């Protein structure tokens, strides 16, 4: 790795690529004398040391940003085509995708450092009438969005705020006492630190169900009726695991009735986003709808009568192929794969 002319037009790109090559070599294990050569390269030019630090930091950031990491890994896979590698002295052959990785890492770091307002801005997620979505947030929290729902998410250094514009969502909140997790829906705010709960906006009002931990409910803007019905000081309420409240516009948060939910009712209420689905005499047509909401691969009933066939058992919600194999195993159902994203089900002849 020879020194580069300080005024070379391509010197910055070459330095970035060289930094990635050195770090790849270091991770694989330096050959004798190579660690000293790396140290000498870093000391030869301030830009070398800066490139190494920037690349290391970019790699760390990618680990914290799954939404950026996934498409980047796909891009690197496309770059990793079998071409003749360049042999460096010392016997090390840098990965053929090193140059592309260097550019991608710099791009990712640039997006983080040069546009912090954009990265901290609200992210909007919307689901269609027949699809659900699971969202992994950068803080480690997980949002399961039900059908026909919409949320916007904004994570800052002081708080984590989600606005549920409509529909239903379940939140598994990563513990962080320095950044409370606040969900706002229909004028009601649900505040948590590390817990799990569902929020649904319906005709009767905002429904909150706590499945783990506890949350605090407050009213953002109480209606005239609610203000008249309750003392001004009574503006908050607390729910613990196994409790549910429906806050209508006509009552204050403090006056909203709190219901204790049985284990069976709790299981039924969270079934829509559970990773495991248990059916008991459920028509196959309804099971198909549930699987289609959770998977890219869609099931199609070619025989309408087949939809009334009752099934039972426990199934992984994201394992549609395994579900189809179980249906085929009994011999009553035949599956026909139509491309990569559709499986037609029909009765066996």
pLDDT tens digits along 143-168? 999 989 999 999 998 999 999 999 99
State the helix-helix crossing angle for 11-28 and 46-64, rounded to 10 degrees. 60
Residue with tokens 């009765």: 347
209 pLDDT above the threshold of 90: yes
- What is the distance between the alpha carbons of residues 53 and 46, in angstroms, rounded to a whole number? 11
**Closest to 341 in 3D by CA, of 311, 302, 308, 298:** 298
pTM for the model: 0.54
Class (C level, CATH) for 275-347: alpha beta
pLDDT of residue 293: 84
- Domain residue extents for the chain: 11-117, 121-263, 275-347
Residue with tokens 């070379």: 8
How many other C-beta atoms lie within 10 A of the C-beta of residue 164? Answer: 24
Let me know if the fold of 121-263 is the same as that of 275-347.
Answer: no
pLDDT of residue 18: 82
**Closest to 123 in 3D by CA, of 165, 156, 151, 164:** 151
pLDDT tens-place string over residues 112-147: 333 333 445 788 999 888 888 888 888 888 899 998
40 pLDDT above the threshold of 80: yes
If one compares 40 and 190, the residue with the highest pLDDT of the two is: 190
CATH ID of 121-263, from 3.40.50.720, 3.30.200.20, 2.60.120.1440, 3.40.50.300: 2.60.120.1440
228 pLDDT above the threshold of 90: no
Tokens representing 334?
Answer: 């035949």
pLDDT tens-place string over residues 231-250: 443 467 899 999 999 999 88
If one compares 17 and 63, the residue with the highest pLDDT of the two is: 17
pLDDT of residue 232: 40
Average pLDDT over residues 162-191: 93
pLDDT of residue 108: 47
pLDDT band at 81 (very low <50, low <70, confident <90, very high): very low
pLDDT of residue 225: 43
The answer to whether the CB of 251 falls within 8 A of the CB of 226 is: yes
Mean pLDDT of the chain: 77
pLDDT of residue 104: 54
91 pLDDT above the threshold of 50: no
Tokens representing 222?
Answer: 């109480």
271 pLDDT above the threshold of 70: yes
- What is the distance between the alpha carbons of residues 301 and 95, in angstroms, rounded to a whole number? 47
- What is the distance between the alpha carbons of residues 340 and 255, in angstroms, rounded to a whole number? 52
pLDDT of residue 189: 94
- What share of the chain has pLDDT > 90, as a percent? 26
How many other C-beta atoms lie within 10 A of the C-beta of residue 157? Answer: 7
Q: Which of 55-64, 98-107, 176-185, 207-216 has the lowest mean pLDDT?
A: 98-107
pLDDT of residue 60: 60
pLDDT of residue 63: 53
pLDDT of residue 263: 87
If one compares 108 and 257, the residue with the highest pLDDT of the two is: 257
- What share of the chain has pLDDT > 70, as a percent? 73
3-class SS letters over the chain: CCCCCCCCCCHHHHHHHHHHHHHHHHHHCCCCCHHHHHHHHHHHCHHHHHHHHHHHHHHHHHHHCHHHHHHHHHHHHHHCCCCCCCCCCCCCCCCCCHHHHHHHHHHHHHHHHHCHHHHHCCEEEECCCCCCEEEECCCCCEEEECCCCEEEEEECCCCEEEEEEEEEEEEECCCCCCCCEEEEECCEEEEECCCEEEEEEECCEEEEEEEECEEEEEECCCCHHHHHHCCCCCCEEEEECCEEEEECCCCCCCCCCEEECCHHHHHHHCHHHCCEEEEEEEEHHHHHHHHHHHCCCEEEECCHHHHHCEEEEEEECCCHHHHHHHHHHCCCEEEEECCCCEEEEEECC
pLDDT of residue 299: 93
């Amino acid at each position: 790795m020879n020194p580069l002319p300080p005024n070379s037009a391509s010197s910055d790109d070459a330095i970035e690529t060289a930094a990635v090559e050195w770090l790849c070599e270091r991770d694989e294990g330096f050959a004798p004398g190579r660690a000293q050569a790396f140290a000498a390269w870093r000391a030869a030019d301030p830009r070398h040391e800066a490139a190494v630090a920037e690349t290391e930091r970019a790699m760390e950031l990618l680990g914290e940003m799954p939404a950026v990491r996934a498409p980047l890994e796909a891009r690197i896979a496309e770059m990793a085509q079998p071409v003749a590698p360049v042999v460096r002295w010392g016997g090390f052959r840098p990965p053929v995708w090193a140059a592309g990785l260097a550019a991608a890492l710099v791009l990712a770091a640039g997006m983080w450092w040069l546009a912090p307002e954009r990265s901290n801005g609200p992210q909007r997620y919307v689901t269609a009438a027949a699809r659900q979505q699971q969202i992994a947030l950068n803080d480690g929290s997980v949002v399961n969005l039900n059908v026909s729902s919409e949320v916007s998410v904004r994570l800052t250094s002081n708080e984590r705020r989600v606005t549920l514009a409509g529909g239903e969502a379940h939140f598994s909140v990563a513990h962080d006492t320095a950044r409370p997790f606040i969900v706002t829906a229909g004028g009601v705010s649900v505040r948590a630190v590390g817990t799990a709960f569902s929020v649904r906006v319906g005709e009767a009002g905002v429904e909150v169900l706590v499945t783990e931990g506890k949350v605090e409910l407050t009213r953002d803007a109480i209606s005239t009726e609610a203000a008249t019905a309750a003392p001004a000081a009574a503006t908050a309420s607390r729910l613990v695991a196994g409790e549910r409240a429906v806050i209508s516009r006509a009552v204050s948060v403090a006056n909203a009735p709190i219901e204790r939910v049985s284990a069976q009712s709790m299981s039924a209420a969270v079934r829509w986003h559970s990773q495991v689905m248990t059916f008991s005499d459920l028509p196959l047509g309804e099971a198909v709808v549930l699987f289609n909401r959770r998977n890219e691969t869609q099931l199609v009933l070619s025989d309408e009568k087949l939809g009334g066939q009752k099934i039972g058992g426990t199934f992984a919600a994201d394992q549609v192929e395994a579900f189809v194999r179980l249906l085929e195993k009994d011999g009553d159902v035949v599956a026909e794969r139509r491309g990569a994203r559709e499986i037609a089900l029909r009765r066996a002849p």
